[in-house]
Amino acid sequence: MQVFNYSENQKWFERATRVIPCGVYGHFSPAPCVPTNAYPFFSTRADGCRFWDVDGNEFIDYMCAYGPMIMGYHNSVVDEAFINQLKQADANSIASTKMVELAEFLVDLIPVADWAFFAKNGADVTNYAVMIARAETGKKKIIAIKGGYHGTAPWMQGIGHPGVTEEDVANVIRIPWNDLKALEQALEENYGQVAGFISSPYHHPVFVDNEYPAEGYWDGVQKLLKKHGAVLICDDVRAGFRLHLGGSNEYFKFKPDLICFCKAIANGYPISALVGKEELKVSASKVFHTGSYWYSSAYMSAAIANLQELKRLNAPEYFEKLGNKFNEGLIKIAKDYGFNMKITGHPSMAYYRITDDPSLQLHQRWCAECTKRGAFFTSHHNWFLSMAHTEADIQKTWEICEEAFKALKSST
Amino acid sequence: MGNLSCPLCKTEQGNTQDNIKSSLYLKAVLPSLVDLVQLDKPAKELIIPANEKILFSLRNGEKAFLKIQNGEITYSPKKIETPTIHILLMSPSHAVQVFEQGKLPFLLKGFTRISFLKKKFDALTKRLEYYLKETQNYTEEEKRIYAILQLKTALRSAEVLAEKEEVSKKILAGTPQGILRIGIESINFESYFGFIDGKWKYIDRLSGQTVSSILTLKDLKTTELLLTNKLDTFAGLGLGKIYISGIIPIIDNVGLVLGRIIQYIS
């Protein structure tokens, strides 16, 4: 099996460092790609569940643009909806009726939604949700989960990070996941001050195993928040439409007041949404929140087409079936080579970890060996499946995984 | 006494700032004299004939004990023998003035050793400044010494901040427990910082512990750029000048603490 060369990637990276901080910044930066020389940094094209880098290397993509690519790159139905609307109008001086159509579609699709609001990125709507919670309750503090990610706004970053002041994070209380006592304690200690609780539907941090809610956890959360008059915000930016088309809360059987969606909503076209209960609509109307491109209608058309396709194809069921099959095979292959592969989280976006080395170095080396052979895996983050991944792709990926285990075995 | 401080030191900003600064001088900068005489021949020559035991003591506070003997220095954070010279620092603020501005300390013992303090020890601390201040036109060997001294002083400083500074405490409270190895590949140098016995500490040598994270700097140039805050570390990773592996959040968060040292000394 061919092991990839990244000479053109390196040339482009050198060019990038001269004009761009970090070369490539944010979650696409080289920092979590260990070792960096096993990873590509620049692509030339993508199609289905594959992308090609500037060296011409072909990858089966298990990061799916870190979640947005849910139908597959270049999905003809979604792309056609986008292009057709683009021809009519996109950025404009007044809103498009597509905005109303998309809001109606989401209100029908998502049981807790009585209204919808659109922006571009996940952080746009997590910020908006927090502002609505504060406007509704007249309180300042927000409770969040340790290790939970809700964007890069200063209030959501950790203390000590460059550009973040102590004041920025002063009103955010971090508690452990699945810990109702900690939530109760935080609410009691900050009695009358907590505006809301923001959390993903299940815990999917980076670098550590993902965790589902414990039995009765979300029931307990809802009761405590109701008692204290705090708003429940579900950050479904990463998991949204993968576990359940009505929102991941339906999968885990709880009813948030606000739900934030982004990544998978439009198959890579930039749009995010906040949906909420009727009771919060007036507060939502009072919070001024807007952006230059938040009314672009082509992306709204893409979102409608994408969600219709996910519904038509019953995407969550497909992900569950394909993901479980992939995982079972992968666990067996690892075992055949003497390794223990632990898989946590939902099959459509599971987190993988070779447990034989707690420092993660073994897992990092294995992910690197897979990537160098054409299965694009990162070692720190959950992976993603798309509707374009097929059983044939899974088979090909298993072969790559096996070669990587062989390489690992021969070097240890 | 020579000025042990570095040029970017900030002016006094209250007791907390001075408490941390004085600790940094006593627990991070003074121990670097041990490394200095091991690494730097001119520094070693300054103390070859000396046989002194110097106690720096902050009134009602921390201590630093330096034993100078046979061309070597050993350091202890407490008085381990009867000193030949005892330097009293009246307060953290006074300590900072002594170390940064050359203000005279109170000499409680060692009046007959003033010439050693004024000549040899002063020259020794000036030699340390040569490496800990802004970079000079170093020789190749001096570049190596500069990198090692700077890194070790930084890691010792991180231990002080981990114990004393509120922001650093909060950063490390949310950090996975483990041991970070920091190395410079071209000179085969390694040092450690990690969580041992319930505390984040500088570790000179491992004694059976397992490394959980690795940060390797390719060469002295990369090290110098990093130490002088002129390196885009993300770019450095992509360009192969820096290599990381293991539990990356430890590297990230220790990096945040190291980045805070400049607020006190640099």
Multiple choice CATH, A7-61+315-411, 3.40.50.1000, 3.90.1150.10, 3.40.50.880, 1.20.1530.20: 3.90.1150.10
For B22-35, the pLDDT digits (tens) are 999 999 999 999 99
Q: Measure the CA–CA gap between B163 and B159, rounded to whole angstroms.
A: 6
Q: Measure the CA–CA gap between A327 and A382, rounded to whole angstroms.
A: 13
Q: What is the pLDDT of residue A154?
A: 95
For A2-25, the pLDDT digits (tens) are 999 999 999 999 999 999 999 999
Q: Measure the CA–CA gap between B11 and A281, rounded to whole angstroms.
A: 52
Q: What residues of chain A lie within 8 A of the CB of B249, using their CB? A: 207
Closest CA to B210 of B250, B237, B163: B250
Cis peptide before A35 (omega within 30 of 0): yes
Roughly what angle, to the nearest 10 degrees, separates helices B140-164 and B248-258? 90
Residue A56: CA count within 13 A, CB half-sphere: 1
Q: What is the pLDDT of residue B54?
A: 96
Place of tokens 């950050």: A235
Cα A213 versus chain centre, distance: 18
CB contact under 8 A, A34 and B170: no
Pairing of strands A141-145, A172-175: parallel
Q: Does B16 touch chain A (CB under 8 A)?
A: no
- Identify the bridge partners of residue B97 per DSSP, sorted by sequence position: none
CB contact under 8 A, A160 and B260: yes
Q: Measure the CA–CA gap between B253 and B248, rounded to whole angstroms.
A: 9
Best mutation target among B195, B247, B253, B261 (most A Cβ atoms within 10 Å) is B247
Side by side, the strands of the sheet bearing A43-47 are A43-47, A50-53, A58-61, A375-376
A379 DSSP 8-state letter: S
Closest CA to A130 of A287, A292, A295: A287
Q: Measure the CA–CA gap between B156 and B251, rounded to whole angstroms.
A: 16
Q: Mapping DSSP to helix (H, G, I), strand (E, B) and coil, where does residue B104 land?
A: coil
Angle subtended at Cα A258 by Cα A253 and Cα A264, rounded to the nearest 5 degrees: 80
- Identify the bridge partners of residue A341 per DSSP, sorted by sequence position: A354
Q: What is the mean pLDDT of residues A357-378?
A: 97
Tokens of B29: 């900068």
Closest CA to B149 of B248, B19, B264, B28: B28
Residue of B nearest to A9 (CA): B238
Q: Which of B212, B237, B259 sits opposite A36 (nearest CB)?
A: B237
Q: How many helices (H) and strands (E) does chain A have?
A: 13, 13
Three-state SS annotation for A234-293: EECCCCCCCCCCCCHHHHHCCCCCEEEECHHHCCCCCCEEEEECHHHHHHHHHCCCCCCC
Q: What is the pLDDT of residue B266?
A: 64
The alpha carbon of residue B256 is apart from the nearest alpha carbon of chain A, in Å, by 6
Cβ neighbours of A191 (radius 10 Å): 8
Q: Measure the CA–CA gap between A373 and A2, rounded to whole angstroms.
A: 6
Closest CA to B176 of B107, B90, B253, B87: B253
| Residue A375 φ/ψ, nearest 5 degrees | -110, 110
Domain A76-312 fold is Aspartate Aminotransferase; domain 2 (3.40.640)
Q: What is the pLDDT of residue B103?
A: 85
Q: How far is CA A190 from CA A172, A339, B246, in A?
A: 11, 46, 37
Q: Measure the CA–CA gap between B10 and B150, rounded to whole angstroms.
A: 19
Q: Is the pLDDT of residue B101 over 90?
A: no
Q: What is the mean pLDDT of residues B213-227?
A: 95
CB contact under 8 A, A23 and B239: yes
Q: Is the pLDDT of residue B12 over 60?
A: no
Q: How far is CA B33 from CA A74, A141, A374, B57, B68, in A?
A: 63, 48, 52, 17, 10
A328 DSSP 8-state letter: H
What's chain A's average pLDDT?
97
For A193-202, the pLDDT digits (tens) are 999 999 999 9
Tokens of A280: 């919060």
CATH 3.40.640.10, chain A: domain bounds: 76-312
For A204-256, the pLDDT digits (tens) are 999 999 999 999 999 999 999 999 999 999 999 999 999 999 999 999 999 99
ipTM: 0.93
CATH 3.90.1150.10, chain A: domain bounds: 7-61+315-411
Q: Measure the CA–CA gap between A29 and A32, rounded to whole angstroms.
A: 7
pLDDT > 70: percent of chain B: 94
Is residue B186 within 8 Å of B219, Cβ to Cβ? yes
Roughly what angle, to the nearest 10 degrees, separates helices A297-312 and A315-336? 70
Is residue B214 within 8 Å of A329, Cβ to Cβ? no
Q: Measure the CA–CA gap between B250 and B16, rounded to whole angstroms.
A: 26
Q: What is the mean pLDDT of residues B247-260?
A: 96
Residue of B nearest to A10 (CA): B239
Residue A73's identity, in one-letter code, is Y
Tally C-beta pairs within 8 A across A and B: 84
Angle subtended at Cα B82 by Cα B76 and Cα B85, rounded to the nearest 5 degrees: 85
The alpha carbon of residue A138 is apart from the nearest alpha carbon of chain B, in Å, by 28
For A120-157, the pLDDT digits (tens) are 999 999 999 999 999 999 999 999 999 999 999 999 99
What's chain B's average pLDDT?
91
Give burial (CB, 10 Å; 0-12/13-18/19+) of A117.
buried
Q: What is the pLDDT of residue B236?
A: 96
Q: What residues of chain A lie within 8 A of the CB of B174, using their CB? A: 146, 158, 174
List, as one string, the DSSP characters of B55-93. EEEETTS-EEEEEEETTEEEEESS--S--SEEEEE-SHH
Q: Mapping DSSP to helix (H, G, I), strand (E, B) and coil, where does residue B109 land?
A: strand
Q: Which of B176, B211, B232 sits opposite A22 (nearest CB)?
A: B232
CB contact under 8 A, A41 and B238: yes
Tokens of B253: 């968060």
Q: Is the pLDDT of residue B13 over 90?
A: no
Q: How far is CA A110 from CA A113, A129, A258, A360, B206, in A?
A: 5, 17, 11, 38, 55
Q: Spell out a b/e string for B27-63, using b for 16 or more CB atoms within 10 Å of the CB, else e.
A: bbbbbbbbbbbebbeebbebbeebebbbbbbbeeebb
Q: What is the pLDDT of residue B47?
A: 93
Residue B49's pLDDT band (boundaries 50, 70, 90)?
confident
Q: Which of A10, A23, A35 sits opposite B234 (nearest CB)?
A: A23
Q: What residues of chain B lie within 8 A of the CB of A158, using their CB? A: 171, 174
Q: Is the pLDDT of residue B104 over 90?
A: no
To the nearest 10°, the Cα dihedral for A67, A70, A72, A75? -130
Is residue A246 within 8 Å of A109, Cβ to Cβ? yes
Residue A260's pLDDT band (boundaries 50, 70, 90)?
very high
CB contact under 8 A, B167 and A37: no
Q: Which of B243, B247, B259 sits opposite A207 (nearest CB)?
A: B247
SS3 content of chain A, % helix, strand, coil (to 5): 45, 15, 40
B116 DSSP 8-state letter: I
Q: What is the pLDDT of residue B1?
A: 52
The alpha carbon of residue A56 is apart from the nearest alpha carbon of chain B, in Å, by 19
Q: Which of residues 167-226 of B touch A (CB under 8 A)?
A: 167-168, 170-171, 174, 176, 178, 210-214
Q: What is the pLDDT of residue B133?
A: 83
Q: What is the mean pLDDT of residues A68-97?
A: 97
To the nearest 10°, the Cα dihedral for B234, B240, B241, B246? 70
Going from the N-terminus, what domains does chain B have, and what CATH number goes with each?
15-132 (3.30.1050.10), 159-263 (3.30.1050.10)
Q: Which of A13, A174, A361 sits opposite B238 (nearest CB)?
A: A13
Q: Spell out a b/e string for A212-237, using b for 16 or more CB atoms within 10 Å of the CB, else e.
A: bbeeebbebbbebbeebebbbbbbbb
Q: Is the pLDDT of residue B154 over 70?
A: yes
Q: Mapping DSSP to helix (H, G, I), strand (E, B) and coil, where does residue B26 land?
A: helix
List, as one string, the DSSP characters of B152-167. HHHHHHHHHHHHH-HH
